[in-house]
Amino acid sequence: MLYREAGQFKTTYAEDMAIFPIRQDRMAIAILLGIAFIGVPLLADFDIWPFGSDYLLRAILLPFLILALAAIGVNILVGYCGQISLGSGAFMAIGAYSAYKLGTGVHIPLAWLGFAISIPPLPVLLAILLGGLTAASAGILFGVPSLRIKGLYLAVATLAAQFFFDWVFLRVSWFTNYAPSGSVNAPTLDFFGLNVGTPIERYLLCLIFVTVFAVLAKNLVRGNLGRQWMAIRDMDIAAELIGIRPLYAKLTAFAVSSFIIGVAGALWAFVYLGSWEPLAFSIDRSLQLLFMVIIGGLGSIMGAFVGAAFILILPILLNRIPSELGVPLSTETITHLEFIIFGSLICYLLIKEPHGFARLISLGKEKLRLWPFPY
């Protein structure tokens, strides 16, 4: 079917403001969701290659979904609100460790007051969401400096968050329930009595989280709050003079972004890793998320998915293609090659297309709309 919007008239503003105003787009997204929610589980169930193997679900789709979720969070802060963050990894860690503490029971002995605060282990879903809320509060705390400092200075402030929390989760053994190795195990994943164990169950769980949060995030960025964030990003002084309060706009961006990142962190720890150490949330993770956002597209929810897919798939391709061609590369060379390719791609995209692959896709769609005419 041709990609045309002729004949699709919008008679209300509500229709004009829909997420996907063009019918063909709506159908494409419906098909995609259908495949994701029904197709993949069916294929896996019937053991059809490559869906039958755990590898695809466990090593590709699961991290893809969770990192895409985190990238949505990063994109809200960096892409929409223009506040650079090098500390996303720390906020994932905060989400993960607070969810862990809440999921295994909190005990704070206040010896000098003669009593202790005890919270029994919470259900996993609640623990994950509260983990997100904890990350959001930390985000607000570290967002406060953004009211006084801008741009590059803020990068250093977020680095402070990154290194400080790295240290906290490594050294303060209360957070790891005094595990001697510093490595902790996630509680069993029970959701309303259902145990989420198999790869396909884990995949569906993450898919639900990602879908819900992507829709909520999309709603936010195309609403009044989203406009405030973008106004702050594009010209903060003018924004202030038309009545946008930088305090409110920036802190909500920090809060929403950290909440999503925190939930992603909890999922990463509970659902993907199972057991983990602070190293899982180091500055490398922060940079990786930032790269996803730049590659996928600053200021685009879809871009988060594109970027996450790219960053996960490239190393696999680098691993497979040369060895298929008979020139296997050493692991080290692959890592270095990855570095070079990511770096070059970042520079290239920043120069040629600051809105990343997402923008290239929408340009392609525009071309397709006019096809076969150039304009």
Report the site for another protein in 277-336 (rule: CB under 8 A): 287, 290, 294, 299, 332-333, 335-336
Judged by CB, which is closer to another protein: 24, or 58? 24
Please give the sequence-ordered ranges of beta strands (E in DSSP) within the chain, or none if there are none: 106-110, 115-119, 184-185, 190-191, 194-195, 275-276
Phi then psi for residue 143, to 5 deg, are: -80, -25
252 part of the interface to another protein, by CB under 8 A: yes
CA angle 39–45–49, rounded 5-degree value:
80
Which two tokens mark 116? Answer: 């202790």
8 part of the interface to another protein, by CB under 8 A: no
- Give the count of residues interacting with another protein (CB under 8 A): 71
Judged by CB, which is closer to another protein: 189, or 264? 264
Q: Which of residues 253-272 bind another protein (CB under 8 A)?
A: 256
Q: Which residues contact 10 (CB under 8 A, 6 or more apart)?
A: 16, 21
In this structure, the strands spanning 115-119 and 184-185 are: unpaired
155 part of the interface to another protein, by CB under 8 A: yes
Which letter does DSSP use for residue 175 in this model?
G
* Tokens 């259900």 sit on residue: 123
Which letter does DSSP use for residue 77 in this model?
I
235 part of the interface to another protein, by CB under 8 A: yes
Stretch that binds another protein, among 30-38, 220-228, 272-280, 301-309 (CB under 8 A): 220-228
Q: Which of residues 189-218 bind another protein (CB under 8 A)?
A: 216
Nearest approach in angstroms of CB 297 to another protein is: 12
Nearest approach in angstroms of CB 200 to another protein is: 29
55 part of the interface to another protein, by CB under 8 A: no
Nearest approach in angstroms of CB 327 to another protein is: 15
Q: Which of residues 14-43 bind another protein (CB under 8 A)?
A: 14, 17
Distance between CA atoms of residues 124 and 353, nearest Å: 41
244 part of the interface to another protein, by CB under 8 A: yes
In this structure, the strands spanning 275-276 and 106-110 are: unpaired
Distance between CA atoms of residues 118 and 102, nearest Å: 10
Distances in whole angstroms, Cα of residue 308 to Cα of each of 50, 168, 312: 20, 28, 6
Nearest approach in angstroms of CB 48 to another protein is: 37
133 part of the interface to another protein, by CB under 8 A: no
Stretch that binds another protein, among 33-41, 60-68, 187-195, 349-357 (CB under 8 A): 349-357
